[in-house]
Structure 1
Amino acid sequence: MTEEARTLGRLRGLLDVTRVVRSESDVETLLGEVARVIAESLGFRAVVINIYRPAWDDFYVTTVYGSPEAKELLLGDSEGWDVWKPLLDERFEQRGAYVIPHGEFDWDADGVKSFVPDIDPVDEPDAWHPEDALMLPMRHTDGHVLGILSVDEPVSGRLPTDEELDVLVAVAEHAALVVQGAQEAAVATRHRSALEHLLEVSAQLTETFSAESILERVCDGIQAALGFQKVVVQLVDAETGRLRPLAAAGFDLADPVLNAPTTIETIRRLLDQQYQVAGCFLLPGSEAEPRLEETDAIYRSSQNGRGPHAWNHHWLVVPLYDRQGDVVGVIWADEPEDRLLPSKEKLQALRVFANQATTAVASAAQFEEMRFLADHDPLTRLLNRRAFMREVELESSRSERYRHAFALVLFDLDTFKAINDRHGHLVGDEALQWVASVLVATLRRSDSAFRIGGDEFALVLAEAAEKDATEVVERISAALATSMDGRIPGFRASFGIAVFPRDGGNPEELLRAADEAMYAAKASARATVEATD
């Protein structure tokens, strides 16, 4: 072949590679086409493409074109950086390529699986030797290595010239664009998916006040858009102070690991600022586990990789904050499907999902509070007058239908005004809350307590006769007479009892009878209990 023909072949090869790069085929097809163009246009009988896998810190052979022997030996093989670094030594570098002459590298001693073509060596200075190797790094535009392209057994039987090396380096750069483009497209797809899921969650915030429903969508969104196979949202239980799983994706909410007695204090030990990225906390397992108690349940990842970029038993926790900046819950994300540590951009998206979760919790809490206050007194948290009137109606209907009695008790605090005047309204409010706690502690579950006025309370005692009601009132009177925190010696109260249907066959009559009985007790100027005659 003349030099002119070889030059035209090289130019044609570059043009063909450029055409391949601009096509819209999948990356596997594109790399196969790149290898074919190199083999056919630039004249090599074997072309191998190794793609770097950050999750394993190795290079995986994805493409072998040409020699069936090379394909059988190398396709699917992987070698780590420890094997490749000696080959990419600067002493082998020529014009951006790495030419390893035979005899310069002990392939067997270094454990590298290599293909040696079955050709006879030629004793000429520029002849290609069967144990020669030619490597071409495929670099990202920022410089890091995406893969390595290697060629073997040139058709010319000779070592490549400087011009041929320049063409091969240019082709490797185009191949790198294929890999980079595919990786960037995957990231763009993931980001687009994340945005779509975030928009769905945002839309649901206006459609429902169910925190569980929205948090489930948050978990599903993190799993689908960000690639974490296991996600759970835990919120602090106000009564126990422990974390309680509320929604999950990939986890069973009944999993003992999720229901271990973990407190927010345990979580705070993981919120170390040196591991904070975009409001998320990513800790190596060796750092996270020693911070936990022996009694804490520990989940250990199974989707781990190897190397500096790999997820390897890491812990990823995203705190949820209320408006006061207190931690009210956490999102745990684990088992990344790509086995990689999440990028800053992915953690930023995770933080946005967490913010949506916080908004959902706050909105649901606000809605629940509004719904609660429709029937409850905001100070004492007892049922209010509206609920009281409804309950008397319902209990009257129920008692009439099933022919059993119930008792209605009204009472007010005779000494409340004096305490309020002496100690101030704040102490007065505390006193009312204390009275409410006495009622809650004294009554049966089937009974109900109400605050129906300033210092006026009511009780509805299901299936109770006058004797039963009197016993309840005596217990309450005794409890109210004790000192409250040593500041107030106790309360004197006046009680009025009315029993359905004896004292009234409908709610209006019953209320009037209980009210009259209470004022009769108050008129006696002592702590008394009055029942209607």
Structure 2
Amino acid sequence: MTHLRGLLEVTSLVRGEDDLDAVLEAIARTIAECLGFGTVAVNLYRPAWDDFQVTNVYGNPGAREALLGDARDLASWRPLLDDRFLRRGAYLIPHEHFDWAADVATFVPDIEPTDDPDAWHPEDALMVPMRHSAGHLLGILSVDEPRSGRKPSDEDLDVLVAVAEHAALAVEGAQAAAEAARHRAALEQLLRVSSRLSETLDADEIFQSVCESVRDALGFQHVAIELVESATGRLSAQAAVGWTLGDETLSAPVTLADIAPLLDPAFEVEGCFLLPSDEGQRRFTAGLFVYHSRLNGRGPWAWNRHWLVVPLVDRTGKTIGVIWADEPEDRLLPPRERLQALRLFANQAATAVTLVEHVQELRFLADHDPLTRLLNRRVFMERLDSEAARADRSGRPFGLVLCDLDRFKLLNDSQGHLAGDEALRTLGRILGDALRRSDEAFRIGGDEFALVLPDADPDAIESVVERITVAMEGALQTVRASFGAAAYPSDAGHPEALVHAADAALYEAKRAGERLRFAA
């Protein structure tokens, strides 16, 4: 029962806690108290340094004093995480099989050794890896001083490994929540910059706001916006944070042609160009001053004097300037979502002179999917509620059709995500063209779409689906679509139930290999 309680408590962390520090502390405490270990240490992987740092120690005060903050790279851990010690997913290292004189441990508990081969020895060690759902290491749990005084049984190890798996999910969730919070902050900053577009016609003020927002929301401590001078072709700094206008970094006589070699599609991510230091140095014009980052890390995930430049492009496709971003506060290479947000900030700067059009675009993206340009899931749920209310008042039914692409994953795997994105865009255009004036199409998930069809009987629904299918046969030959349809209120009297009915019909259509299935 104690073991089960420990598993349940860690499982609850997966669902109920987003703060990483609190998650790590709770993991260590729960394993110690519920699984009966006197000391539990959490060694968290730090991608900025490509090492594992002891972030939490629960139990023995001596262990806490000796271990907390200690950091070691994977090479130091490999002797311990050797297959010869692997037992039921954990690594149990008997004292007689390992030379602790090596630089791998700094704490040995004060336990009196005995001759009993099943007794826990003070130099025994037990390590359990925590792995990301993608397979890489998130951290390593080190447990010691079992209260039983015995080496763990297979059953004990099974429980410990199960708890570690759930702990890894909790850590992964907390890390994802932190990145999602940063992304939300970026979008909020983006909206704040957008509001300034309607408040001021001063482009420099907008540029400064963009620089500050990139710093505050995306974590780059140095940001600058440079525009091309029409007379000379040179880049001229308009706004900056971290750097100051006029300092050596922003005063070098650089032209757009000088940085053109940096804008290589091989290094393009979400419209940003991220180059390793040696590539940037090699491609940049010799003799010009080059800024060297100070907030660098170590390892494959770390920022290490990288170059990050984002071109500012006007509505005709002409490059009119660039954004430079440097000194990431977390010392990590920015993930795709952060670069996507940076690209959005660059778009803000590039369109500062077209205020009205830009605000209109932001309003559009609040309600629409940026890839397919269809209405998004939030609007779908609102429309579904309003359409149900209209039907209740008027007594006139409406139809809901759910659609997803078959073999879409195969397309992504075989031809790449760009081909998948293009297929989604094409389907978005097809849906828009196939609908009646009163109908609406939505993208509600990855390859999932919805159609709301007012006053549509089964024949009208069949006709719409037929038009979509015919158009797809001509434009999307690598994938096909399945459709599930339900009518309000005959198939369901509540919007949520209507979605479930259409989804069940879609499932049956896919299972039976049919193009369209109506709710039973």
* Interval containing the TM-score (normalised by the shorter chain): 0.5 to 0.7
Is 1:318 the equivalent of 2:310?
yes
Is 1:261 the equivalent of 2:239?
no
Is 1:228 the equivalent of 2:220?
yes
**Contact 1:201/1:217 (CA < 8 Å) preserved in 2?**
yes
**Residues 316 and 361 from structure 1, CA distance in 2 versus in 1: closer, same or farther, beyond 3 angstroms?**
farther
| Cα deviation 1:361-387 (Å, max 9, x = unaligned) | 4569x9xxxxxxxxxxxxxxxxxxxxx
1:289 aligns with one of 281, 288, 293? 281
Structure with bigger gyration radius: 1
Query: Which residue of 2 is the match for residue 211 of structure 1?
Result: 203
Q: Which runs of 5+ in 1 are unaligned?
A: 1-7, 367-533
Is 1:248 the equivalent of 2:240?
yes
Secondary structure of residue in 1 paired with 2:250: coil
State the 1:244 CA deviation. 0.4
Query: Which residue of 2 is the match for residue 64 of structure 1?
Result: 57
Give the letter aligned to residue 151 of structure 1.
Answer: V
Distance 2:30 2:317 in 1: 60
Query: Which residue of 1 is the match for residue 265 of structure 2?
Result: 273
State the 1:21 CA deviation. 4.9
**Residues 240 and 63 from structure 1, CA distance in 2 versus in 1: closer, same or farther, beyond 3 angstroms?**
same
Query: Which residue of 2 is the match for residue 192 of structure 1?
Result: 184
Distance 2:181 2:26 in 1: 24
Distance 1:220 1:338 in 2: 17
**Contact 2:130/2:164 (CA < 8 Å) preserved in 1?**
yes
Q: Which runs of 5+ in 2 are unaligned?
A: 359-520
Query: Which residue of 2 is the match for residue 107 of structure 1?
Result: 100
Query: Which residue of 2 is the match for residue 117 of structure 1?
Result: 109
State the 1:157 CA deviation. 1.5
**Residues 213 and 25 from structure 1, CA distance in 2 versus in 1: closer, same or farther, beyond 3 angstroms?**
closer
Query: Which residue of 2 is the match for residue 13 of structure 1?
Result: 6
| Cα deviation 1:252-283 (Å, max 9, x = unaligned) | 11212101101111110211221111111101
Secondary structure of residue in 2 paired with 1:194: helix
State the 1:322 CA deviation. 2.6
**Contact 1:107/1:114 (CA < 8 Å) preserved in 2?**
no
1:495-514 equivalence runs, <5 A: none
State the 1:79 CA deviation. 0.5
1:84-483 equivalence runs, <5 A: 84-109=77-102, 111-361=103-353
**Contact 2:37/2:144 (CA < 8 Å) preserved in 1?**
yes
Distance 1:114 1:104 in 2: 18
Distance 2:197 2:9 in 1: 52
Distance 1:18 1:12 in 2: 10
Give the letter aligned to residue 165 of structure 1.
Answer: L
**Contact 1:322/1:362 (CA < 8 Å) preserved in 2?**
no
Give the letter aligned to residue 344 of structure 1.
Answer: R
Higher deviation after alignment, 197-206 or 217-226: 197-206
State the 1:106 CA deviation. 2.1
Distance 1:254 1:22 in 2: 50
Query: Which residue of 1 is the match for residue 20 of structure 2?
Result: 27
How many equivalent residue pairs? Answer: 358
Distance 1:363 1:120 in 2: 75
Secondary structure of residue in 2 paired with 1:311: coil
State the 1:223 CA deviation. 0.9
**Contact 2:276/2:304 (CA < 8 Å) preserved in 1?**
yes
**Contact 1:73/1:115 (CA < 8 Å) preserved in 2?**
yes
Percent of residue pairs bearing the same amino acid type:
61
Distance 2:309 2:52 in 1: 31
Give the letter aligned to residue 220 of structure 1.
Answer: E
Query: Which residue of 2 is the match for residue 39 of structure 1?
Result: 32
State the 1:156 CA deviation. 1.3
**Residues 240 and 362 from structure 1, CA distance in 2 versus in 1: closer, same or farther, beyond 3 angstroms?**
farther
Give the letter aligned to residue 203 of structure 1.
Answer: S
Distance 1:28 1:204 in 2: 36
Query: Which residue of 1 is the match for residue 46 of structure 2?
Result: 53
| Cα deviation 1:156-198 (Å, max 9, x = unaligned) | 1211111111111121122223322221111111111111111
Distance 1:331 1:70 in 2: 48
State the 1:215 CA deviation. 1.1
**Residues 355 and 20 from structure 1, CA distance in 2 versus in 1: closer, same or farther, beyond 3 angstroms?**
closer
Compute the TM-score of the two structures, normalised by the length of structure 2: 0.66
2:72 aligns with one of 68, 71, 79? 79
**Contact 2:17/2:174 (CA < 8 Å) preserved in 1?**
no
| Cα deviation 1:306-352 (Å, max 9, x = unaligned) | 00000000000001123343321000000001100011111111111
Secondary structure of residue in 1 paired with 2:251: coil
**Residues 324 and 20 from structure 1, CA distance in 2 versus in 1: closer, same or farther, beyond 3 angstroms?**
closer
Secondary structure of residue in 1 paired with 2:168: helix
Secondary structure of residue in 2 paired with 1:86: coil
Give the letter aligned to residue 214 of structure 1.
Answer: I
State the 1:23 CA deviation. 4.5
State the 1:220 CA deviation. 1.4
State the 1:29 CA deviation. 3.2
| Cα deviation 1:122-147 (Å, max 9, x = unaligned) | 22332222221111111222222111
The root-mean-square deviation of aligned C-alpha atoms, in Å, is: 2.1
Higher deviation after alignment, 311-320 or 294-303: 294-303
| Cα deviation 1:388-445 (Å, max 9, x = unaligned) | xxxxxxxxxxxxxxxxxxxxxxxxxxxxxxxxxxxxxxxxxxxxxxxxxxxxxxxxxx
